[in-house]
Amino acid sequence: MSALQKLIRFARTSPTGQYWLARRIVLQQLQTARASVNYRLAAHLAAGGWQVGYRGCVRTTYIMGLFGSGRWYINALILQNLGERANYFKDGIYCHPGPTAMIYSGHATIKYVSLFQELPAVTSQVLESVRSRFADLIFVYRHPLDSLLTNWIWVRTYLRDRRMISGISQVYESTDELCAELEGNFSEFEAFADGELFATMPGPRFLSFSEFIEETALFKESATLSLRLEDFAADPFKEFSKIVQVMSVELDLSGLHLARPKTQPYRYKVVTDRVPRFRGFIDALDADTKKRIEQVGYEVGV
């Protein structure tokens, strides 16, 4: 039977029949040598919610981070440099009862329900897969104060202008402009940091700053691999190599040219120097919050 005849036969089959036929084909292909694995077909089926098992050393990979953490940057590195395995990538979180070759990416929380982030119930399923050795969790994060500034600008831009941005630089051409905006709207910033800004709107609110840091600590405790965005700014090759190793991808790294993050590392330090009220905000953080910032590997001050 020719490939065209097989396609016509498949199209005429009932949806249930298509499911079982396609699943059988995928399983047969995934049981062959790795070099002959049909990545694109498996990715397409799994992305549609079908359970695609993988008998081998590959486990489902989850790229997760809190909002404003640099996850989009990691997504781009994977899509541009991971070769065939990148065909498994899907922006979104889906849980499977066993190992797959899929790569899922999304914002999520472990403890608190938050605007724009997957529910803790979803994250709980991911963590169970990690504990069962069906999956690996790669957690990306950066200095919480940088995330706080980015998230405040992102949320106010989206909710007021219905415009999605990838970073502060899309709104302000310089840090001076950001500082002027912060100085002129500091009460709004404080309300956002307390989790009160837009809290009267329908649906969940955004995380408070203390909740954000608590979530960061919880993810670091649970992740297979934790990556700091600032380390990619210093040596993207070294950090990307860690991802390749965790995912057990056979990849020639010698020819890669990896871009550094566009975001400015430790921008909060410049803002602290230029906006006295922001310095006062940091000084007034409670002891537990300051301790958690240090526990996740960052200084609290400048």
Going 278 to 261 to 206 to 213, the CA torsion angle's sign is: negative
As beta bridge partners, residue 106 has 64
In a domain, 21, yes or no: yes
- Greatest mean pLDDT among 46-60, 169-183, 193-207 lies in 169-183
Q: Say if 238 falls within a structural domain.
A: no
190 pLDDT more than 70 = yes
Is 227 in a helix, a strand, or coil?
strand
Tokens 């190599």 -> residue: 241
Nearest Cα neighbor of 154 from 175, 140, 172 is 172
- Angstrom distance (rounded) from CA 92 to CA 28: 27
User: Position 292: which residue type?
Assistant: R
The answer to the question of residue 245 being in a domain is no
Express as a percent the part of the chain with pLDDT over 70.
79
148 and 50 assigned to the same domain? no
On the question of pLDDT at 205 being above 60, the answer is: yes
- Residue 35 binned pLDDT confidence (cut-offs 50, 70, 90): very low
What pLDDT is stored for residue 30 in this prediction? 42
Distance CA 98, CA 133 (A): 9
The pLDDT assigned to 169 comes to 80
Report strand pairing: 60-65 vs 103-107. Answer: parallel
Lowest mean pLDDT among 17-21, 108-112, 218-222, 269-273: 17-21
Average pLDDT rounded to a whole number, residues 192-201: 80
Alpha carbon distance 233, 64 (integer Å): 19
Rounded-to-integer distance, Cα 101 and Cα 91, Å: 14
Residues 154 and 14 in one domain: no
* 35-44, 119-128, 250-259: range with lowest mean pLDDT: 35-44
Report yes or no on 33 lying in a domain: yes
- pLDDT, greater one: 195 or 48: 195
Helix (H, G, I), strand (E, B) or coil at 107: strand
User: What is the overall mean pLDDT for the chain?
Assistant: 85
280 and 156 belong to one structural domain: yes
Is residue 34 over pLDDT 50? no
Band (203; pLDDT cuts 50, 70, 90): confident
Q: Are residues 164 and 274 in the same domain?
A: yes
Is 169 contained in some domain? yes
DSSP per position, 159-185:
HHH----SSGGGT-SSHHHHHHHHHHT
Q: Summarize pLDDT for 95-140 with one digit per residue, the tens.
A: 988 888 899 999 999 999 998 899 999 999 999 999 999 999 999 9
Coil, strand, or helix at residue 92?
A: strand
Strand positions, DSSP E, the chain: 60-65, 89-91, 103-107, 135-141, 225-228
156/278 same-domain check: yes
Let me know: does 149 contact 132? Beta carbons within 8 Å: no
Q: Map residue 138 onto helix, strand or coil.
A: strand
Nearest one of 98, 99, 96, 126 to 110, comparing CA atoms? 126
Q: Which residue shows structure tokens 């440099």?
A: 81
- Of 298, 21, 300, whose CA–CA distance to 142 is shortest? 298
Tell me how far apart the alpha carbons of residues 161 and 181 are, in angstroms, rounded to a whole number.
16
Select the more confidently predicted residue: 219 or 257: 219
Q: Which residues span the domain enclosing 41?
A: 10-55
Q: What is the pLDDT of residues 263-296, one digit of tens each?
A: 889 999 999 999 999 999 999 999 999 999 999 9
pLDDT of 182 > 50? The answer is yes
Over 60: is that where the pLDDT of 57 sits?
Answer: no
Task: Report how far residue 247's alpha carbon sits from residue 228's, in angstroms, rounded to the nearest whole number.
Answer: 18
Domain assignment present for 287:
yes
Torsion angles phi and psi, residue 63, rounded to 5? -100, 110
Number of independent structural domains in the chain: 2
Average pLDDT over residues 64-76: 94
Which of 103, 88, 80, 95 is CA-nearest to residue 41?
Answer: 88
45 and 155 housed in the same domain: no
| pLDDT grade for 3, boundaries at 50, 70 and 90 | low
Residue 129 lies in a domain: no
Averaged pLDDT for residues 205-216: 95
Read off the pLDDT of residues 159-175 as tens digits, 9 standing for 90 and up: 777 788 777 888 888 89
* Burial profile 36-60: b = 16 or more Cβ within 10 angstroms, e = fewer: ebbbebbbbbbbeeeebbbeeebbb
Q: Label residue 70 by pLDDT band (50, 70, 90).
A: very high
Indicate if the pLDDT at residue 22 is higher than 70: no
* 243 assigned to some structural domain: no
